[in-house]
Amino acid sequence: MEKEISQAVIRRMPRYYRYLGDLLDDGVERISSNELSTRMKVTASQIRQDLNNFGGFGQQGYGYNVKYLYDEIGKIMGMDQKHNIIVIGAGNLGQALANYVKFEKRGFAIIGLFDVNPALKGVSVRGINIRMMDELEDFLKNNRVDIAALTMPKTKASEVANMLVSYGINAIWNFAHLDLELPEHVVVENVHLTDSLMQLSYNIAKQGKVKDKR
């Protein structure tokens, strides 16, 4: 039986991947957990515990081979595979996602943009023509799509998500301000931008209270 990895560990893995990528760019070949700890502001024991969930990867007295660890974490997170994405909702946020070139460097290719606004039909965003929603079913039949990103108003998000699932989409990247109720086999990653801003606002207020007490 495969070991169940906690979501807290999974959430930290992309950060390790990002820092290791920076180390590679800087020409660093190996690093200890203590050195990585200093850079990432995570305890060395936490790093070792996290990586031990997947086999460890380190060597006593040597530390971690940066390239090897980077590649292994990439495999764990599925970065060695290509993921085709469509974006439903080609407004400002949808177009911003399509314009973000770093997705492709990580193996995520946006291959389709869809909207209901006739004024957007045929508009090209980084070489991708915006299609209308009535073209979606045929597009899905003729293209492999792994992930659908919802960047649309919440009023239609649930209906569209269920339609996508009926067409065989099993992974939803949800930017709509709504918690989707979908079958258990569908993987949903919610990105609630206002929630993140509220957390930032709380921490600003908290920091202000600390300063006031000084």
Domain ranges of the chain: 7-76, 83-194
Burial of 136 per CB tally in 10 Å (0-12, 13-18, 19+): buried
Concatenate the DSSP letters of all residues of 82-118 into one string.
-EEEEEE--SHHHHHHHT-THHHHTTEEEEEEEES-G
pLDDT of residue 31: 92
d(CA 125, CA 116): 16
> Can you give the pLDDT at residue 55?
81
Assign domain 7-76 to a CATH class. mainly alpha
Instruction: Name the nearest CA neighbour of 171 among 77, 82, 83, 96.
Output: 83
* Residue ranges in the chain whose pLDDT is less than 50: 1
CATH architecture of 83-194: 3-Layer(aba) Sandwich (3.40)
Q: What pTM was computed for the model?
A: 0.81
Q: Quote the pLDDT of residue 121.
A: 96
| Predicted pLDDT of residue 57 | 82
Q: pLDDT of 95-110, one tens digit each?
A: 999 999 888 888 899 9
What is the structure's pLDDT at 140? 96
Q: pLDDT at position 2, please?
A: 54
- pLDDT for 1 equals 46
Q: What is the pLDDT of residue 161?
A: 97
At residue 172, the pLDDT reads: 97
